[in-house]
Amino acid sequence: MDDDKLPPETKLTRTKRIWADAHKFITGKTERSDDERLPPGQHVVNDWPVLDLGKQPDISRDRWKLRIGGMVDQPLTLDWAAFMELPQTQARSDIHCVTTWSRYDNEWTGVATRDLLDLVGPRDEASHLMLHGYDGYTTNVPLADFAVADAIIVHSWQGEPLTREHGGPVRLVIPHLYFWKSAKWLGGIDFLGADKAGFWEENGYHMRGDPWAEERYS
Ligand SMILES: Nc1nc2c(c(=O)[nH]1)N[C@H]1C(S)=C(S)[C@@H](COP(=O)(O)O)O[C@H]1N2
Ligand SMILES: [Mo]
């Protein structure tokens, strides 16, 4: 087949392709049967441990901004008001931390990554993302994993504003990957044309981090 003869990929078909890719990864859902719900090597906790690099940036909602750039049609910067004007999504999911604790039934509220993707329009070449926290933390994710239906950029947990220690005012939640991929104090998202290691990935952690495949270390 001669690819040159195909019409150029439109924004709509591109979005559909990203969603189709993402569909393969809808494995971390609470609808799994009980024996499949807990990934191998994990145990359930009822509290919510705090893990970070030892600094918890103090970012008020007034100062907070989310900058989105790289390989997108429409780079943009959202402040708190613009973020809250976007469609709000609520969803429940489980947390799986690579340090072996899992926490069930977390109720998140925020902006679905899909709604954000609609807004910025990833370009054809975009395949991975680098997420940036206000503490200097970085972590990489494949675009298809970021685009799953239950990945949310959250501002609330169990109906209350996300606390500073857990990444407030705004963090990412990607339930079907280990929690280190869910950047706290989210301030930047870069769309990349190739995979690139973030902080923990440079220090031996897996580039993808699927808990059911125990992708803990590289
Ligand atoms: N900005 C930022 N995000 C981060 C981290 C961090 O140090 N900085 N730690 C990651 C790790 S290793 C984990 S397990 C979770 C912990 O989130 P929690 O403290 O809300 O449980 O956040 C992830 N996101
Ligand atoms: Mo972690």
Number of other residues whose CB lies within 10 A of the CB of residue 49: 12
Centre of ligand 1 to C-alpha 184, Å, is 6
Q: Which of 46, 48, 179 to mutate to test the pocket of ligand 1 (most atoms within 8 A of CB)?
A: 179
CB 209 within 8 A of CB 177: yes
User: For residues 175 and 162, what is the distance between their CA atoms, to the nearest angstrom?
Assistant: 16
Helix (H) or strand (E) holding 19: helix 11-23
Residue 52 Cα: closest atom of ligand 1: 7
The structure tokens listed for 10 are 């439109």
The pLDDT-based confidence of 28 (bands split at 50, 70, 90) is very low
The pLDDT of residue 20:
82
Q: Atom 22 of ligand 1 has which residue's CA nearest to it?
A: 180
pLDDT for residue 11 is more than 80: no
Number of other residues whose CB lies within 10 A of the CB of residue 60: 10
- Over the stretch 33-61, which tens digit does the pLDDT of each residue have? 777 899 999 999 999 999 999 999 999 99
Q: Atom 23 of ligand 1 has which residue's CA nearest to it?
A: 180
The amino acid at 66? L
The structure tokens listed for 139 are 């972590």
The structure tokens listed for 166 are 């857990």
The pLDDT of residue 5:
54
Mean pLDDT, rounded, for 72-100: 98
Which class is 60-213 in CATH?
A: alpha beta
- Over the stretch 112-160, which tens digit does the pLDDT of each residue have? 999 999 999 999 999 999 999 999 999 999 999 999 999 999 999 999 9
Centre of ligand 1 to C-alpha 128, Å, is 20
Backbone torsions φ then ψ of 203, nearest 5 degrees: -100, 30
Instruction: Map tokens 């708190």 to a residue.
Output: 80
The structure tokens listed for 193 are 């044309």
Centre of ligand 1 to C-alpha 88, Å, is 23
Contacts of 33 (CB under 8 A, 6+ apart): none
Mean pLDDT, rounded, for 69-82: 98
User: For residues 194 and 184, what is the distance between their CA atoms, to the nearest angstrom?
Assistant: 23
User: For residues 117 and 149, what is the distance between their CA atoms, to the nearest angstrom?
Assistant: 11
What residues does each domain of the chain span? 60-213
Centre of ligand 1 to C-alpha 50, Å, is 7
User: For residues 84 and 64, what is the distance between their CA atoms, to the nearest angstrom?
Assistant: 12
Q: Read off the pTM.
A: 0.92
Task: Provide residues with CB under 6 Å of ligand 1.
Answer: 48-53, 97, 133, 135, 137, 166-167, 179-180, 182-185
| 138: nearest Cα among 174, 72, 71, 185 | 185
